[in-house]
Amino acid sequence: MESLLFILMLIGALGVISQWLAWRFRMPAIVVMSVMGLLAGPILGLINPQEDLGGMYGPLISIAVGIILFEGSLNLDFREIKGLGKPIFRITTIGAFLAWIFGSLAAHYIAGLSWAVAFVIGGIFIVTGPTVILPLLRQAKLKPRPAAILKWEGIIVDPFGALVAVFAFEFIKFLTMDTVTFATVLAFLAGSLLAVAIGAFFGYGIGWMFENGYVPEFLKSSVVLASVIMAFALSDTVMHETGLLAVTVMGMTIANMHISSIGDMRHFKENISILLISVIFIMLTASLNTETLLSIFDWHIIVFILIMLFVTRPLSIFLSTVNTDLTFKEKLLVGWIAPRGIVALTVSGYFASVLLEAGFEDAEILTSLTFGLVFGTVVAHGFSIGFIAKKLGLSIESKPGVLIVGSSKFSANFAKVLEDLNIPVLISDSSWSRLSHARRLGVPYEHGEILSEQTDYQIDLTPYEYMISLTEYDSYNTLISSTFMPSFGREHLYQLPLQVNQGDHLEDVSKHISGQILFEMNMNWSVLNEKINNGYLFKKTTITNQYTFDQYLQELDKDSVLLMIHRKSGHINFFSPSGEIRPENGDIVISLQKPVQN
């Protein structure tokens, strides 16, 4: 028992450490987790989860994959799919089908897999997935059109890869195995329909209970997690391999009920999925034996990976987007970028065991084949997307942008200063009248509620590295910081100091739900806008050897406000009471200063 406890602890620790290292050093998480898993497993021999966990290994993988697919299917809101442009619709339907067929043919004729295994793995390989695409888009800062296509392809196709694999598996069994009759196929179809009913029942039931207040707030996450496992287990007990279908339908049902707490549910499921993905990926890679690992370098597998990279993906994109308004350069970029992620590997690990149990011995190389494709595409696409996007002219200005929430005289004028420095900036406000300040100065703005569930689809957040809340409501600023902390990270979220005497008396608000404080502790919304009304001006001062920052501070009026530093590298730093920053030679200091009296 102690040994098993140690193994579980080590697997969890390696997964979390890998994610942290990937975030800290801006590396693809899959690459770090691959190295960690291989070191702990086949290289150093510390663990072999498949042997160490015994009968628990298969169920753990299955449940984890089910939860991961449920989290992905929560994004399938039909209102958003209806609004897709022609290119995205074509790529997610015709393109996905072509990728499945071409990938299956390559797996059979190049990698030497049987038709059953080839069509199963071909279905799994249509998945790119938001977990690998979104970090790449943020890293490369693509223009809106190619970014939207890649993002929506990942979101829409992600839950369907495993389902395509399930149906391919059953159909090929019907054609190739004597024990599988037409009655067996009908039974599978009936089981699939039952799985759909189970998923819809659980999804609708949870949505109804949540909306009518039958589940307290503190129990919602636990109820959802338990229900996902129940739906998966019940469906899989009735008909093997249909549990994935049940949880996908369950997620889609909840997503399209538009319940008020779906945002919190998504955050919880995203956190759970990250942990499960990390753990499962370590388990899969650590379970690889040396022979399987070396088989990745077999010329059949290498040629298969090259075919998937340079033939299957580009061909499916170019054929599916004929007679659309995509330019050749956009097709070229989208046709190159298709990194397979952890979901593909975890699902293929699940089907490898299922196929082996069904008597398909060639499924033994399924994990190594998938691992080779995942690792190859993540490295190739992760390290090339920025360079290729720049060469094709499909990347936006590389300077980190600022998303300002709340339009006022101060925020509009501040945004104008940022725009003059060629820093991407956008003001968001739900009030059309308050946006008049932004319209008057001609700065970019977005009319809408930033906390709406449609924000991810209405606003492309890719250009913006910082979000600053400049509204007059303390509680709203804190709510924004709390909501967007998973997306931006606390180090890139700022809000105005509290208006203790006029506002919501939130001086004791916990720091972990608020952003960093902007400027100075007494520079709240009222003070800053009063200064603008009194004629204060934004000043840009370059720090040099001849005019140092210390000299600048000595000459600065006591009523002036230090706002930010625009580094000569293009990066920005906001002044804050929580940390001391100093400009270097060539940096520009932005401040709000009293007008010069004549």
Question: Which residue, of 391, 415, 449, is where some domain finishes?
Answer: 391
Residues 411 and 387 in one domain: no
Residue-level pLDDT at 299:
82
Q: Do 283 and 61 touch, CB atoms closer than 8 A?
A: yes
Q: Please give the model's pTM, rounded to 2 decimal places.
A: 0.63
Per-residue pLDDT for 78 more than 70? no
| CA angle 77–94–116, rounded 5-degree value | 100
> How does DSSP classify residue 362?
G
What one-letter code names the amino acid at 334? V
Q: Which residues pair with 493 in a beta bridge?
A: 467
How many C-alpha atoms does 155 have within 13 Å on its Cβ side? 22
Structure tokens at 152: 């929506």
Structure tokens at 465: 């590295």
**3-class DSSP assignment, residue 2:** helix
Residues 436 and 387 in one domain: no
Residues 317 and 414 in one domain: no
Backbone phi, then psi, for 234, in 5-degree steps?
-60, -45
Question: Which residue, of 391, 417, 435, is where some domain finishes?
Answer: 391
Confidence band (pLDDT; 50, 70, 90) for 130? low
Burial grade of 386 (CB within 10 A; 0-12, 13-18, 19 or more): middle
Question: Which residue, of 391, 416, 432, is where some domain finishes?
Answer: 391
73-110 in b/e form (b: 16+ CB < 10 A) is bbbbbeebeeebeebbbbbbeebbebbbebbbbbbbeb
For 330, residues 6+ apart whose C-beta sits below 8 A from its C-beta are: 145, 146, 149, 394
Between CA 192 and CA 173 the distance in angstroms is 16
Confidence band (pLDDT; 50, 70, 90) for 479? confident
Nearest to 93 by CA among 8, 164, 16, 191: 164
Per-residue pLDDT for 510 more than 50? no
Q: Do 335 and 153 touch, CB atoms closer than 8 A?
A: no
Indicate whether 227 belongs to any domain.
yes
Q: Do 591 and 528 touch, CB atoms closer than 8 A?
A: no
Task: Render 264-289 in DSSP notation, one character per residue.
Answer: HHHHHHHHHHHHHHHHHHHHHHHT--
Between CA 495 and CA 473 the distance in angstroms is 10
Lowest-confidence segment of 39-53, 89-103, 249-263, 504-518 by average pLDDT: 504-518
Indicate whether 48 belongs to any domain.
no
Indicate whether 61 belongs to any domain.
no
Q: Do 143 and 394 touch, CB atoms closer than 8 A?
A: yes
Per-residue pLDDT for 448 more than 50? yes
Residue-level pLDDT at 405:
84
For 94, residues 6+ apart whose C-beta sits below 8 A from its C-beta are: 319, 320
Q: Do 478 and 513 touch, CB atoms closer than 8 A?
A: yes
Give the tens place of pLDDT for each residue, 533-589: 888 888 888 888 888 888 888 877 777 888 888 887 777 788 887 777 787 888 888
Q: What percent of the chain has pLDDT above 90? A: 2
Between 282 and 598, where is the model more confident?
Answer: 282
Indicate whether 598 belongs to any domain.
no
Residue-level pLDDT at 201:
93
Residues 373 and 332 in one domain: yes
Nearest to 124 by CA among 484, 374, 299: 374
Give the tens place of pLDDT for each residue, 223-261: 888 888 898 888 888 776 677 778 888 888 887 777 766
Per-residue pLDDT for 3 more than 60? yes
Q: Do 42 and 288 touch, CB atoms closer than 8 A?
A: yes
Say which CATH number the domain at 364 has. 1.20.1530.20
pLDDT (mean) for 122-146: 72
Residue-level pLDDT at 271:
64
Q: What percent of the chain has pLDDT above 70? A: 81
Question: Going edge to edge, which strands form the sheet with 445-447?
Answer: 445-447, 425-429, 401-405, 464-469, 493-495, 516-517
Residues 120 and 169 in one domain: yes
Residue-level pLDDT at 81:
53
pLDDT (mean) for 43-64: 78
Please give the residue range of the domain that contains residue 172.
Answer: 11-40+74-391
**Range picked from 6-15, 351-360, 490-499 for highest mean pLDDT:** 6-15
Backbone phi, then psi, for 451, in 5-degree steps?
-90, 0
Give the tens place of pLDDT for each residue, 280-308: 778 877 877 777 777 777 788 889 889 98
Say which CATH number the domain at 478 has. 3.40.50.720
Nearest to 348 by CA among 126, 191, 134, 101: 126
Residues 421 and 385 in one domain: no
**3-class DSSP assignment, residue 114:** coil
Residue-level pLDDT at 127:
77
pLDDT (mean) for 53-57: 76
Indicate whether 49 belongs to any domain.
no
Indicate whether 368 belongs to any domain.
yes
Total of domains in the chain: 2
Residues 350 and 440 in one domain: no
Per-residue pLDDT for 52 more than 90? no
Residues 386 and 405 in one domain: no
CA distances from 57 to 66, 292, 358, 368 (A): 14, 18, 18, 18
Residues 332 and 420 in one domain: no
pLDDT (mean) for 61-66: 75
Residues 333 and 477 in one domain: no
Between CA 74 and CA 162 the distance in angstroms is 16
For 56, residues 6+ apart whose C-beta sits below 8 A from its C-beta are: none
Residue-level pLDDT at 361:
77
Residues 367 and 442 in one domain: no
Confidence band (pLDDT; 50, 70, 90) for 503? very low
Q: DSSP E strands: which ranges in 488-587? A: 493-495, 516-517, 537-542, 561-566, 572-574
Indicate whether 280 belongs to any domain.
yes
pLDDT (mean) for 306-333: 88
Give the tens place of pLDDT for each residue, 192-217: 788 889 989 998 998 888 888 888 87
Residues 331 and 412 in one domain: no
Indicate whether 6 belongs to any domain.
no
